[in-house]
Amino acid sequence: MSFPNVIFGSDGDQFVVDSDPAADQGSPAVGQQLILDDGRKFRFSSAGAVALLTSNLMQAPIPVPNHVLQTAAAAAVGANTVALTLGATAATANQYKNGLLVVDLVANTGFGYTYGIKDHAAVASSGVFTVPLKATVQVAISTAANSVSLIQHRNNNVIITIATTPTAELAGITVKPIPIGDFGWIQTRGPCTCLTTGTIVIGQHVFASTTAGAVIAGAAFSVQPTIGIVVRVATSTDHSTINITGIDG
């Protein structure tokens, strides 16, 4: 089986912003990859509750505690939905589209399996979410308490990196402003500008800074995943050129 999950484009395609891609036939899906002829890579992403600024480091949405380790109704082998009772936090329409339902705990007979999620309607706080799956259930899912979780797609509802400790995986670096709820391309590989803090030197590895949306160099940050390598240095709190190597393959 093969699917057209990579788009090969020209310089300029990465600047397209769309307020309603569902209305455009042939529009990319969230997470779909764009590759330019010079090797730069991008992922189609949606902005979360805050508008995204240019040249800032972005992260995936923070996991919702009331949607993690919840209790599902029994689902037999071959089922294409799993009914999951949410905690006291509502789910918005398509919040988990292209995300994952995972069976976490060995207490559940279906543990260890991961399933993609299709389009879905909004679900009220503490409501039952009948999760539509892209694939059928492979091993029966039991009613074991607090054993099933929902994970949003990394590129759905992205936010600027949190200015404290990491709260989700990195999603990429913005190349153009994206308004709240709109869709656009976020760079995940190759050279681009990014907000930097502190002293950086050409050739250094950089990591997520404790300043929101920025990267930084230094041994104190080396326990974090490497984002990329410094190509050109600007002043601190300005935008240096980084070759992204550590976000996308």
CB 54 within 8 A of CB 217: no
Mean pLDDT for 151-177 is 91
Average confidence score pLDDT of the chain: 92
- Per-residue pLDDT averaged across 31-46, rounded? 96
Distance between CA atoms of 238 and 226, rounded to whole angstroms?
Answer: 20
Q: Is the same domain home to 184 and 122?
A: no
Residue 121 and residue 16 in one domain: no
Short-list 87, 100, 155, 90, CA closest to 131: 100
Q: Verify that 112 and 180 share a domain, yes or no.
A: no
**Boundary-marking domain end, from 111, 127, 151:** 151
At 1, the pLDDT band (50, 70, 90 cuts) reads very low
Number of domains in the chain: 2
Residues 168 and 189 in one domain: yes
Share of the chain above pLDDT 90, in %: 78
Mark whether 125 and 173 lie in a shared domain: no
Same structural domain, 168 and 229: yes
**Residue range of the domain that includes 183:** 6-61+156-244
First to last CA, the chain: 21
Could you say which of 117, 151, 185 is where a domain stops?
151
Three-state secondary structure along 103-157? Answer: ECCCCCCCCCCEEEECCCCCECCCCEEEEEECCCCCCCECCCCCCEEEECCCCCC
Amino acid at site 49: A
pLDDT at 95: 96
Q: What is the mean pLDDT of residues 46-50?
A: 93
Cβ atoms of residues 207 and 227 within 8 Å: yes
In a domain, 1, yes or no: no
Rounded to whole angstroms, the Cα distance separating 48 from 64 reads 14
Q: What is the pLDDT of residue 131?
A: 98
Residues 226, 174 share a domain: yes
In a domain, 249, yes or no: no
Question: In terms of Cα–Cα distance, which of 58, 139, 129 is closest to 97?
Answer: 129
Q: How far apart are CA 120 and CA 115, in angstroms?
A: 14
Let me know whether 79 and 184 are in one domain: no
pTM: 0.89
Band (pLDDT 50/70/90 cuts) for residue 139 is very high
**For 14, phi and psi rounded to 5 degrees?**
-70, -10
Domain identity same for 56 and 160: yes
157 near 46, Cβ under 8 Å? yes
Which DSSP category does 85 fall into? E
CB 58, CB 158: distance < 8 Å: yes
Over residues 180-221, the pLDDT tens digits come to 999 999 999 999 999 998 888 999 999 998 889 999 887 666
Say if residues 47 and 181 touch (Cβ distance below 8 Å). Answer: yes
The span from the CA of 152 to the CA of 163, in Å, is: 21
Show which of 105, 131, 151 is a domain's final residue: 151
Number of H helices, E strands in the chain: 0, 17
Bigger pLDDT: 131 vs 237: 131
Same domain? 86 vs 204: no
Q: Is residue 77 over pLDDT 90? A: yes
Q: Do residues 147 and 192 both lie within one domain?
A: no
Quick one: 68 and 144 in the same domain?
yes
Token digits for 243? 């070759």
Give the chain's length: 249
- Round to whole Å and give the CA distance between 191 and 55: 12
CATH number at residue 45: 2.40.300
Domain contains 186:
yes
Nearest-angstrom CA–CA distance, 69 and 133: 18
